[in-house]
Structure 1
């Protein structure tokens, strides 16, 4: 209790020096929470968007399918069995047929992936219902990015050439039924969505599919001749990127924290040097050396408590405001192929706040204890004379 009272008195007496240290330390504390909260908010939004638009609760792949090897697409399809058809009718699964093709907008050639989807499906957010009410024309829906890159609008027709089940080339004009926008670039880039029955007929792959997407209520279990891929597996690349971003944030926050801790360390060294007679008086009055060391350690560690309080004063309103309005991202941020919303809403968990607070308090206490250890070696007579070596 004595150590706390003396520490408080000395901190107040230090005046501006104390508040400069507290300000830098509080800024490091708030920045750590802000950056990690932003990354976690981005992670949650991206994972939810990817599951809603592309992977559902997991996917069943035809065994030879490899999403990183386009050469496997030609043969990566098989007949949908009767038990799977029953699951599809219940809305628990939705099939997707993948076929590589080329389209020729304005006389140019561009590779495109034809994806046959069920117009009645409700598992993915794709506006597949726009494929229901097509006339005798073959219709497709595409993403805004593909439409902008090729200057396509709703109602436009584009020539598409593909290879059927037997390897024979065929071509047809496809009408753009609608254009959608999503935060998941892999859903838009280079993909053209058709009614799966139409695509099956075009390729001769009757009642076949390449992928089965599982819905929220699906009972995930092994299906014969299909390889199940969990959402964690499908999001491996994204998770690796998030971890790299977190590592970068740790380095940035660490550097700022080190600067703040260095200021506290210098302050403690200066304080011990200037208060030599005071230290000698404490020892001469009967205080043990460990008690004197405790006073200076508590005094230095108190900077972190004050920093947390000061950080809360301006940090809490800032975090509440950011959580309400979000953090706008650059308009072209999705062009890099990264799933990122136009506005990110940070997520501040209790674990994040507590861990950041403990890190700051423990670090400040350790840094304060390091120069205070020298007090344990003092002789009271030398300290009273102000002769600390």
Structure 2
């Protein structure tokens, strides 16, 4: 009986009833979609950072700042025994230096990143560097990301001049061969980054056994001469952006919820003004 009455009342309202249902449904769908999109973006972004760069955290020399490239050369240190004894699946040694590419006679400042080839902690498309010998030859193999290749107008098989400064301050230059253009899902380590073998970059800069940081699978306690940067510290900018996005999304959620409430209760709300004489106002 109640269903029949509700059904009659619904169809009696005609087009207005269907518009109310449509607005309510679209608003709820938009709310669910927006929340799912934000959660999915956060999960994917954090997963990409962890799997390609952060790992379980970094052990870095005190004072090292990735945003201050002029000081990178001053903050390289030998790997301590505690970290040196870890297996290749539990650590990734990384050396970062400044460099300049000269593609098509243009100056292109780059970040040179050398990483150990035997590591399996970070997922990076650097298989093209593995067949080469430990010592660099006349032409140094390198891998760049898709974004870097597009900005510098590079492609697989290109040879380009690379200039860098060694530990003593002497400037050196040599041709590098782009052995692969990798699909790097993390733009931090793609844009203006040239990937080299760690042993090659150490040899080029006379920094045998030195690193800028060591990415580890998990926190190992205090290590003398190094400070630990947790996942939260290394992703602080991303987490701050996500927090701001959530604040902005709550404003939109409020607007959509107001539309839902208006759609549900508009009959009662608007009929007050239409039936003022009946209710004595």
How high is the TM-score relative to the length of structure 1?
0.64
Q: C-alpha displacement at 1:83, in angstroms?
A: 2.2
CA contact (8 A) 1:63 1:227 kept: yes
SS at match of 2:85: helix
Question: Which residue is 1:246 aligned to?
Answer: 246
SS at match of 2:53: helix
Q: Taking structure 1 as reference, are residues 174 and 271 closer, same or farther at Cα in structure 2, changes over 3 Å only?
A: same
Q: C-alpha displacement at 1:196, in angstroms?
A: 0.9
Matched, 1:44 2:43: yes
Q: Taking structure 1 as reference, are residues 269 and 192 closer, same or farther at Cα in structure 2, changes over 3 Å only?
A: closer
SS at match of 2:232: helix
CA contact (8 A) 2:57 2:219 kept: no
Hey, what's the Cα distance between the residues in 2 that align with 1:274 and 1:168? 86
User: Aligned-pair RMSD on alpha carbons?
Assistant: 2.6
Alignment of 1:362-381 (within 5 A): none
Question: Which residue is 1:210 aligned to?
Answer: 212
Report the structure, 1 or 2, having the larger helix content: 1
Q: Taking structure 1 as reference, are residues 388 and 192 closer, same or farther at Cα in structure 2, changes over 3 Å only?
A: same
Matched, 1:70 2:72: no
Hey, what's the Cα distance between the residues in 1 that align with 2:45 and 2:28? 26
CA contact (8 A) 2:31 2:256 kept: no
Report the structure, 1 or 2, having the larger strand content: 2
Of the three residues 80, 85, 92, the one matched with 1:94 is 92
Hey, what's the Cα distance between the residues in 2 that align with 1:200 and 1:57? 24
CA deviations over 1:303-322 (Å, ceiling 9, x no partner): xxxxxxxxxxxxxxxxxxxx
Q: C-alpha displacement at 1:31, in angstroms?
A: 0.7
CA deviations over 1:194-223 (Å, ceiling 9, x no partner): 1111111111111000011113xx454332
SS at match of 2:50: helix
CA deviations over 1:260-285 (Å, ceiling 9, x no partner): 32344442134457789xxxxxxxxx
CA contact (8 A) 2:145 2:182 kept: yes
Q: C-alpha displacement at 1:241, in angstroms?
A: 2.0
Which of the two has higher C-alpha Rg? 1
Question: Which residue is 2:181 aligned to?
Answer: 179
Question: Which residue is 1:142 aligned to?
Answer: 144
Of the three residues 103, 118, 122, the one matched with 1:120 is 118
SS at match of 1:138: strand
CA deviations over 1:43-85 (Å, ceiling 9, x no partner): 1111111211111121122112112222221211101122211
CA contact (8 A) 2:129 2:197 kept: yes
Hey, what's the Cα distance between the residues in 2 that align with 1:238 and 1:134? 36
CA contact (8 A) 1:51 1:57 kept: yes
Alignment of 1:186-335 (within 5 A): 186-215=188-217, 218-271=218-271
CA deviations over 1:295-334 (Å, ceiling 9, x no partner): xxxxxxxxxxxxxxxxxxxxxxxxxxxxxxxxxxxxxxxx
Hey, what's the Cα distance between the residues in 2 that align with 1:387 and 1:205? 88
Hey, what's the Cα distance between the residues in 2 that align with 1:231 and 1:107? 40
Matched, 1:388 2:280: yes
CA contact (8 A) 2:24 2:263 kept: no
How high is the TM-score relative to the length of structure 2?
0.87
Runs of 5+ consecutive residues of structure 1 not aligned to the other structure: 277-384
